[in-house]
A and B are shown apart, each in its own frame.
Chain A
Amino acid sequence: MRTSTTSEPDHEFEDLLRELTPQVLGAVVRWSGDFAAAEDAVQEALLAAATTWPRDGRPDNPKSWLIQTASRRLIDEVRQQRARRRREERAALREVPAEEVEEYDDTLRLLFLCCHPALTPASAIALTLRAVGGLTTAEIATAYLVPEATMAQRISRAKQKLKGASFELDADPDRLRNVLHVLYLMFNEGYTSTSGPELHRSDLSSEAIRLTRAVRKQLPDDGQVTGLLALMLLTDARRAARTGEGGELIPLAEQDRSLWDHDRITEGVALAVEAFETPPLGEYQIQAAIAALHDEVDRAEDTDWPQILALYGLLEDLSGNPMVKLNRAIAAAMVDGPDAGLKLLEPLDDELAGHYRLDATRGHLYEMRGDHQAAAEHFRAAARGTTSLPERNYLLAKAASLS
């Protein structure tokens, strides 16, 4: 039974705090230069908001209120520490004037800090989810299937590593590339992973989309950013059709396209077109264009394979990634027949030796060619090589259906 003091969760309040947290944290970090201390202070300010706002009413400017409260806590903390250490050491501490903080949105700055090149990608993602995404350590730990204490350590070490790191919004394109890469990995982590409680994993994808939207809001003219957002939306739009009832993988050509999220596709296609018209062309724009070509047709057989083949050619020039070559071979098979594809796979024997993807692709191309025995052998070899259970089941089923 519910007691009368238990109130329904106030979603509007939660959403507001979630949106303001990175801005507030960003402002306090910028001002204090100490990430770890700033985060503690912001947590306390959020706690204070949660207890006083429902009682006294929401302040006129919640962001400013939170920044003021957090900075006061931080000053108190610093004062206490200093008093403990050396009484005579008194630096001039100033409060942040309210008018100074309102014009900035520090979310992007904070994101750049969390995606610092000194951190490993895994640590950068965890820290970003915590500081910018507002997820609790427990939520992040659940998503990664590790104990909360493990994730807490990982985040705390990441924070320590950032001590003294510059909090300038770096115009360096390398920094932006790093941020986009972290968001891309975060998205993939949620999209392709089949382990763990599914809801939590797809939260990672949603969070990556939300953060990429935030980056785009501030860098609307950057083709890479727009391209990445388009790629995420176009990929995520297929989520409901990607797995069957038993969690088995359904390849693109066999998906029930009525299950695709057509609002996402419309938005994604528009963004992909916009991104493609914004040079210089990078990998995200091209991948988004390929995803758009897949998503905008109602039937798999209507797919514009010649154009996809041309795009994979562009992508191959940009990146030496063997996976790109592999996808290009599939597109070539769709355009010029399986033999053309098989020929393009030959040079990959060295680069991708023993990789299940190479075997799986050969399986598909031999199947297209009508060579069922060779196809089944390659599918079985691929099944032995994959580490993903749904993928293994899919490959074994393919092999069984052909022998």
Chain B
Amino acid sequence: MTKFMLLMNMDGGNCDTPMLEWNEADMKAHMDHLGEGIERLRKSGELVEVQGLTWPSHAKVVRASSVTAPVLTDGPYAESKEVLAGYTMIDVESEERAYEIAAWQSAAPGPGGVPLEQPIEVRRVMESDADLHDF
């Protein structure tokens, strides 16, 4: 089994309406779709963890400094197109399976039930390779 992290960006899909402005039914359909996928992963034993992140306006950036105490600034800015909305950690049999799950998330409906086609970044977790031989 291999672990992958699926990163969901807040924007970049085919929808220009910010999620906060969606109507309730559209929002529910969106969350239900994602929730259903998560439930399936839970049942299949492929889910490691899933988290949604708070709005980037609450984020801070911490940077160590050689002259002062660590510097704290307000972090990812609103104009940034790609802001991480949440992530799903999965443990799956193959890379193809990870892409399949990402595709499901990407197809979550947006306003009017139109698939949002959000890009989902699939990142493999750094683990060891399973070759037996030393050389």
**A residues at B contact (CB < 8 Å):** 120, 122, 144-147, 149-155, 157, 184-185, 188-189, 191-195, 235, 238, 242, 251-252, 287, 323, 327, 330, 357, 361, 364, 386-391
Contacts and interface: CB of A to CB of B under 8 A. Distances in A.
Residue picked from B127, B130, B135, most chain A C-beta under 10 Å: B135
Q: Which 4 pairs, one residue from A and one from B, show the smallest C-beta to C-beta distance?
A: A154-B45, A153-B45, A252-B134, A388-B128
A150 B45 contact: yes
21 contacts: A122-B1, A122-B93, A145-B48, A146-B45, A147-B48, A149-B42, A151-B45, A153-B42, A153-B45, A155-B45, A184-B132, A185-B130, A188-B130, A188-B132, A192-B132, A195-B128, A242-B134, A330-B135, A387-B127, A388-B127, A389-B126
A157 to B, nearest CB: 6
A110 B64 CA distance: 56
Contacts of B132: 184, 188, 191-192, 235, 287
B63 interface: no
Interface of B: 1, 3, 42-49, 91, 93, 124, 126-135
Chain B interface mostly: loop
A155 B135 CA distance: 35
Contacts of B126: 195, 387-389
B129 A387 contact: yes
Contacts of B46: 150, 154
B127 A144 contact: no
Contacts of B128: 192-195, 387-388, 390-391
Contacts of B133: 323, 327
A400 to B, nearest CB: 20
A146 B47 CA distance: 8
A327 B132 CA distance: 11
A268 B11 CA distance: 58
Contacts of A144: 1, 91
A357 B91 contact: no
Contacts of B45: 146, 150-155, 157
Contact of B135 (A192, A195, A252, A390): A252
Residue picked from B3, B44, B127, B132, most chain A C-beta under 10 Å: B132
Contacts of A157: 43-45
A388 B1 CA distance: 15
Contacts of B42: 149-150, 153
B49 A147 contact: yes
Contacts of A287: 132
A111 B91 CA distance: 24
A122 B43 CA distance: 16
A188 B129 CA distance: 10
Contacts of A357: 131
Contacts of B129: 192, 386-388, 391
Contacts of B127: 193-195, 387-388
Contacts of A191: 132
A153 B44 contact: yes
Contacts of A147: 48-49
B127 to A, nearest CB: 5
